[in-house]
Structure 1
């Protein structure tokens, strides 16, 4: 199942990485950390890379077909750092529902305005906004933009 799909890529830039799991990774209780799927046997990372934008549909289709072929053997989870822009359902699958709820509570406490959202985002839950949150958000946003623009906003 893996080799026929891996060998069928049309791009020499694409690769498939199969990593063995288990060992020390599987000996940590699944509720001790946010890392999900500690009981999987391996992790498969399908990397589709191409240089011609006109070939995008072909390579994306290859990736989706390859992924679909692994689903019958999958735990249903995903390593969070392998996620692209796949939506909240896949982010939840990366952690599992109980861990996702705990991480949402942390997000509500430390990042209620969702400043840190350019990642495999855990959105804060709904809550009543306070005036101080808006001020803090503005200060953090300006600091972030200033740093990102290399001091172009000096005043």
Structure 2
């Protein structure tokens, strides 16, 4: 468990990408063993542990602590109202979504997309 306090709480929810500044704790589950043969069992353990505590969790999370298969809705919830703004920035700087091997923010659709000539 990591406390969310101090300087983190002195920044407004919309001043940076991460908006869960009213949370009191962040949690990371790490299942590590040097034996690669145990990876499947450890992954199962981590996912079962997560499933047992998820009902007590907020909507989003800290994306750097997320598992790779948590889904787009959870990523969006992690950024809250900031997701739309970040998606527009992504459209400008990474319109082809090259940087997508992560908890991805998809580029916003072009404002001209879907419009027809008059």
CA distance in 2, matches of 1:75, 1:57: 27
Q: Which runs of 4+ in 1 moved over 3 A?
A: 51-54, 126-129
Gaps spanning 5+ residues in structure 2: where? 114-118
Aligned residues: 111
Shift of 1:83: 2.3
TM-score of the pair, normalised by structure 1: 0.62
Structure possessing the higher radius of gyration over alpha carbons: 1
Query: Larger RCO: Structure 1 or Structure 2 (Cα < 8 Å, ≥ 6 residues apart)?
Result: 2
The two structures, once aligned, show a CA RMSD in angstroms of 2.0
CA distance in 2, matches of 1:121, 1:60: 21
Question: Which structure shows the higher strand fraction?
Answer: 1
Partner of 2:33: 50
* Contact 1:114–1:124 (8 Å) recurs in 2: yes
TM-score of the pair, normalised by structure 2: 0.79
Question: Which structure shows the higher helix fraction?
Answer: 1
Partner of 1:78: 61
Q: Determine if the alignment matches structure 1 residue 104 to structure 2 residue 87.
A: yes
| Residues 18-38 of structure 1: per-residue CA shift (max 9 Å, x gap) | 111123212222111111211
